[in-house]
């Protein structure tokens, strides 16, 4: 029995990333906001409190020396182990707030138990196509999945300016990767937060604290409204966040949980900020 090892939260959080290079040493020079991204990840896992994190020595490329500095510089503790993580006990895992994994397969059932007991997981893809077989058994209960490779490398812009993970983060660096997606509808606890220019998922999360309020994701191809089926919603915009009056863009009655649209006037505007409002 693991009573006494359970964390305060009923369930932990999950981040699945499309590539391992995102937090590698190269990323810190190619995408200067990488350190802020690491700080955001740690704070999101621990709800803003100092945390304890565990990863393996071969985490991503170059052993992530700069990642380790960013984690500890923000007041957290990082343990790097040379042993396979699933050779440790679940009780040992639960002494840490989150695991950073992806370089080697791990017992999927043990990972599920860890999250259900309050532990959080940052999982990264490699881009070799093996991710679905290695991780989807763990991800499936949380409405998440890997599937399909994202080739190429470089710096890619972050367009999600709302979620706490991306505050102060304008771009990330990658070198190939694996598409991430959600497998549930109408459950905002599992969401894709960021898409590439082709509309493929880059980052997705499981957040047990998420509510069913409508949420907007902005990508290069348009706006995606995620909400509860059968609800009426309105998408509104302003040109400046100091504006007090939001202008309706369109009303949407959700017949499915995801609705995609394009703002035809966006090219004529210097900038626009959007929000979704669920109507009575």
Q: What is the pairing mode between strands 77-81 and 52-56? A: parallel
The C-alpha atoms of residue 188 and residue 228 are separated, in whole angstroms, by: 8
Q: Write the DSSP string, 88-120.
A: S-HHHHTTSSEEEE-SS---HHHHHHHHHTT-E
The C-alpha atoms of residue 26 and residue 64 are separated, in whole angstroms, by: 9
Using a 10 angstrom Cβ sphere, with 0-12 exposed, 13-18 middle and 19 or more buried, the burial of residue 232 is middle
**Could you tell me the two tokens for 245?**
């009056």
What pTM value is reported for the model?
0.75
DSSP symbol at 84: -
pLDDT (tens digit, 0 to 9) for every residue of the chain, 280 residues total?
A: 233 333 444 579 999 999 999 999 999 999 999 999 999 999 999 999 999 999 987 764 555 789 999 999 999 999 998 899 989 999 999 999 999 999 888 999 999 999 999 999 999 998 888 899 999 999 999 999 999 888 788 999 998 877 889 999 999 999 989 999 999 876 778 989 999 888 899 999 999 887 667 778 777 678 888 777 777 888 988 888 777 788 998 898 888 767 888 888 877 777 788 888 877 6
| Other C-beta atoms lying within 10 Å of the C-beta of residue 40 | 19
- Which residues touch 236 (CB under 8 Å, ≥6 apart)? 246, 247, 248, 249, 274, 275, 276, 277
């Amino acid at each position: 029995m693991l009573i006494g090892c359970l964390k305060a939260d009923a369930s932990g959080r999950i981040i699945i990333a499309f590539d391992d290079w995102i937090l590698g040493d190269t990323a810190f020079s190619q995408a200067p906001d990488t350190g802020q991204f690491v700080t955001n990840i740690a704070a999101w896992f621990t709800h803003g409190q100092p945390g304890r994190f565990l990863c393996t020595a071969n985490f991503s490329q170059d052993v992530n020396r700069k990642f380790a500095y960013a984690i500890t510089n923000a007041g957290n503790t990082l343990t790097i182990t040379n042993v396979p993580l699933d050779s440790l006990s679940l009780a040992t895992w639960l002494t840490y707030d989150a695991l950073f994994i992806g370089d080697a397969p791990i017992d999927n059932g043990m990972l599920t138990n860890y999250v259900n007991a309050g532990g959080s997981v940052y999982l990264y893809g490699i881009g070799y196509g093996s991710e679905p077989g290695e991780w989807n058994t763990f991800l499936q209960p949380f409405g998440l999945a890997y599937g399909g490779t994202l080739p190429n490398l470089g710096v890619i812009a972050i367009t999600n300016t709302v979620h706490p993970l991306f505050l102060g983060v304008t771009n990330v660096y990658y070198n190939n990767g694996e598409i991430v997606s959600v497998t549930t509808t109408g459950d905002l606890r599992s969401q894709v937060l960021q898409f590439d220019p082709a509309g493929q998922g880059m980052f997705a999360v499981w957040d047990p604290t998420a509510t069913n309020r409508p949420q907007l994701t902005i990508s290069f191809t348009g706006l995606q409204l995620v909400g509860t089926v059968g609800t009426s919603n309105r998408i509104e915009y302003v040109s400046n966040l100091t504006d007090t009056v939001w202008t309706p863009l369109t009303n949407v009655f959700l017949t499915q949980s995801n609705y995609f649209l394009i703002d035809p006037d966006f090219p004529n505007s210097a900038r626009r900020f959007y929000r979704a409002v669920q109507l009575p």
